[in-house]
Amino acid sequence: MSDAKRPLTAEDLTQIEVYSDPQHAPNGDAYAFVSTSINKDNKYESQLYTQKLTDSEPRQWTFDEDAKNCNPRFSPDGQHLVFQSTRSGVPQLWLAHTDGGEARQLTTFKNGAVNPSWSKDGNQIIFSARLEKDDNVQEQKEHTKDEKKKEAEDKAKEPIVINRLKHKANGSGFRDEKRTQIIQYNLASEQFIQLTHGDADYDYEDISPDGSLILFSANLDADEDSSLTNDLFLLHTDTKGMEKLTNGKGSYSNASFSPKGDKIACFGNEFAYAGATQDELFVFDLTTKARTCLSESIDMPLGDMMIGDTRMGQSTTGPVWSGSGDALFFIGTDHGATGLYQADLQGGIAVLYKDNNHVFGFSYNDKSESFVLGISTPTNPCNFYQLKDGKLARLTNANAEFLQEVALSEPETITVEAEDGFEIQGWILHPIDFNENEKYPFILEIHGGPHAMYGQTFFHEMQLLAAKGYVVLYTNPRGSHGYGQEFVTACRGDYGGKDYSDLMQAVDYALKNYDFIDQDRLGVTGGSYGGFMTNWIVGHTNRFKAAVTQRSISNWLSFYGVSDIGYFFTEWELGENLLDDPKKLWDFSPLKYAKAVDTPLLIVHGEEDLRCPIEQGEQLFITLKHLKKQVEFVRFPGASHELSRSGEPLMRIERLHHICRWFEKYL
């Protein structure tokens, strides 16, 4: 390590700026984006920036302390920017002139207004809002702080009446009677028109070039409460008539009209492999009603499947139409990296940009025929680049001072052959101040999902462990995305089987090929599915001397009934529901093997986790404690399943301190 650089710390989370959502100006000479950081009060803050492509630095557009400004969208003539901001208390829409001046508030909806988009003529703004059944969009009034406080106090005193299967969702809590509706705002008349009204959640996708059709996605099944489909629909703006575009057998999203309005592109699948099904790229011809799959020639998940712990804010992943309408652009996930791809309407696929890094979003401009790419690497959280004529040019220099100050470890890629021939990709991080003549403790990191992917992106937690002097191994065992459909579905019905073997063989490979690893000081950690696997590992081997299980699953029998996804996830992933074969679910449960656990185990869990509820951690703790095992339980108040990624900053930092403390104590 250079004398000028210091080791990374847990508190360095507060030093990192995270860029997202690049949006080209219509003329192609500038773009806007969102920068999210943690301010001096340890709160998240998001500000908008703009940058001319000829300028060396971006210009800050918003300056609201403690506010989250996001979703910047240029008007078609480039003269205005509509965006979403919490500066008034809840997310509302604001409009600013691109020449400068104060932004004007457009909406005062009681429950907020989000995700603005322009009609092609620039006369309308379409957005989404949560509404009660009888709400009048012309009479919406945002509550004052006192009104919000009283409403919250009154609600806390009322019982919650539940009559739906889908009655809760991780991150948002118990569902109420509000539904997401699509609203249109006329800039000339300053009037709102509610375009959808049913007892369903309607997600706006796009508006046709002539403004006659609204494209949206929704689950309008008669038995919507038990169905997991998401169909595409067309709403005629004149008659308000609707027509269904898809067949009710799958899930479709990211849909948009072609420049001429005669076709629609989208991502989608029909659950051929349940939740492990890779999306395909489809085009619907509105004249012939034919559906064409353009991605048959590639065995790769579409979109961004990369996992990280500093990625905040949404970004476009495609599909995006070319200006001529004869091609589509999208991000694809492949072997630990993501890249930008192009598909023609005959199904030909070309790589426009791919390297050993993480393309997390992009914006395309048909006038300049260029892209703005958001890219993260293992040693750089984020930057924007212009891609034009195949050449990449950096536009920003985010986190420059921070990166000059801290020492980071560059990962080394490894490939391990599994017992049945699958190739398992992984990465080794060397400790900071590495000396090949020394022996170092080792930590295996296991990702969640399981249908997700580790790879070539910045990961604060991994770098922190390397800074603490650990060799870090992270891999993509079977079940991970990025290696084809057969690979991603291979763990279903076999949790704790060959996926476990993949991980153990990767550890064996590391011990065999890196003699600086101290085989007597091995640790393991993971969250969600990675937490399940950590629990499984310590119940099936004593080779690890310390383990930290995070937001984990310990008992599939109870998970079925307490998780917001348990009622379908157990069948999708394990092959059985609770009443069909409870013995099988118990056999898959780490809790069954608690007597065999001798590894000191730290259990980390969020109190408000509705995906893997805290009772999963409680059951494991009580059982191990009753058995007189070395176990400790750390509960994080108010934290959901997203604690490590977007939880309260101080909670995230404290979580990292507990992980490091446990490994320091036992390794």
pLDDT for residue 147 is more than 70: yes
- Report how far residue 524's alpha carbon sits from residue 282's, in angstroms, rounded to the nearest whole number: 41
HEC string of 223-280? Answer: CCCCCCCEEEEEEECCCCCEEECCCCCCEEEEEEECCCCCEEEEEEECCCCHHHCCCE
pLDDT for residue 340 is more than 70: yes
What mean pLDDT do residues 425-431 have?
98
What mean pLDDT do residues 662-666 have?
98
What pLDDT sits at residue 353? 98
CA distances from 8 to 459, 643, 665 (A): 12, 20, 20
Q: What is the pLDDT of residues 533-587, one digit of tens each?
A: 999 999 999 999 999 999 999 999 999 999 999 999 999 999 999 999 999 999 9
pLDDT for residue 1 is more than 70: no
Q: Which of these, 549, 538, 529, lies nearest to 618 by C-alpha position?
A: 549
Q: Which of these, 193, 284, 292, 297, lies nearest to 244 by C-alpha position?
A: 284
Q: Which of these, 322, 205, 302, lies nearest to 294 by C-alpha position?
A: 302
pLDDT for residue 151 is more than 90: no
What pLDDT sits at residue 251? 97
Q: What is the pLDDT of residues 255-308, one digit of tens each?
A: 999 999 999 999 999 999 999 999 999 999 999 989 999 999 999 999 999 999
CA distances from 252 to 256, 296, 334, 362 (A): 11, 17, 21, 20
- Report how far residue 439's alpha carbon sits from residue 587's, in angstroms, rounded to the nearest whole number: 38
What pLDDT sits at residue 247? 94
User: Which position has the higher pLDDT, 113 or 156?
Assistant: 113
Same fold, 17-199 and 403-554+589-666: no
- Kindly report the average pLDDT of the chain as a whole number: 96
Q: Which of these, 276, 355, 274, 283, lies nearest to 318 by C-alpha position?
A: 283
What pLDDT sits at residue 100? 87
Q: Which residue has the tokens 């009934």?
A: 561
On the 0-12 / 13-18 / 19+ scale of CB atoms within 10 A, 158 is exposed
Q: Which of these, 545, 356, 528, 553, lies nearest to 442 by C-alpha position?
A: 545
On the 0-12 / 13-18 / 19+ scale of CB atoms within 10 A, 120 is middle
pLDDT for residue 437 is more than 80: yes
Class of domain 17-199: mainly beta
Q: What are phi and psi of 618, to 5 degrees?
A: -60, -45
pLDDT for residue 148 is more than 90: no
Q: Which of these, 358, 386, 389, 312, lies nearest to 56 by C-alpha position?
A: 386
Give the start-to-end residue ranges of the domains of the chain: 17-199, 403-554+589-666
Q: Which of these, 81, 85, 66, lies nearest to 24 by C-alpha position?
A: 81
Q: Which of these, 332, 329, 333, lies nearest to 343 by C-alpha position?
A: 329
pLDDT for residue 195 is more than 90: yes
DSSP letter for each residue of 10-37: GGGGGG--EEEEEEE-TTSSEEEEEEEE
What mean pLDDT do residues 642-650 have?
96
Give the pLDDT band (50/70/90) at residue 3: low
Number of other residues whose CB lies within 10 A of the CB of residue 567: 17
CA distances from 256 to 125, 150, 259, 325, 329 (A): 16, 42, 9, 11, 12
Show the CA angle centred on residue 399, arms to residues 393 and 403, nearest 5°.
100
Q: What is the pLDDT of residues 231-257, one digit of tens each?
A: 999 999 999 999 999 999 999 999 999
What pLDDT sits at residue 155? 87
- Report how far residue 126's alpha carbon sits from residue 211's, in angstroms, rounded to the nearest whole number: 11
CA distances from 181 to 185, 194, 205, 251, 602 (A): 13, 7, 12, 19, 43
Give the pLDDT band (50/70/90) at residue 4: confident
Q: Which residues of 49-60 are buried (b: 16+ CB within 10 A; e: fewer)?
A: bbbebeeeebee
Catalytic positions, written as ranges: 528, 641
Give the pLDDT band (50/70/90) at residue 149: confident
pTM above 0.95, yes or no: yes
- Report how far residue 6's alpha carbon sits from residue 257's, in angstroms, rounded to the nearest whole number: 50
What mean pLDDT do residues 113-133 have?
97
H/E stretch holding 536 reads helix 529-538
Q: How many CA atoms lie within 13 A of 564 on its CB side?
A: 17
| Beta strands 173-174 and 168-169, pairing class | antiparallel
On the 0-12 / 13-18 / 19+ scale of CB atoms within 10 A, 81 is buried
Q: What is the pLDDT of residues 497-517, one digit of tens each?
A: 999 999 999 999 999 999 999
pLDDT for residue 662 is more than 80: yes
Q: How many residues does the chain have?
A: 667
Q: What is the pLDDT of residues 40-64, one digit of tens each?
A: 999 999 999 999 999 999 999 999 9
Task: Work out the widest C-alpha separation in the chain, in whole angstroms.
Answer: 76
pLDDT for residue 475 is more than 50: yes
What pLDDT sits at residue 587? 98
pLDDT for residue 2 is more than 80: no
pLDDT for residue 426 is more than 70: yes
- Report yes or no: 389 and 352 within 8 Å, Cβ to Cβ: no
Spacing of C-alpha 475 from chain mean position: 19
What mean pLDDT do residues 155-169 have?
92
Crossing angle of helices 498-513/529-538, nearest 10°? Answer: 70
Domain 403-554+589-666 listed as CATH 3.40.109.10: no
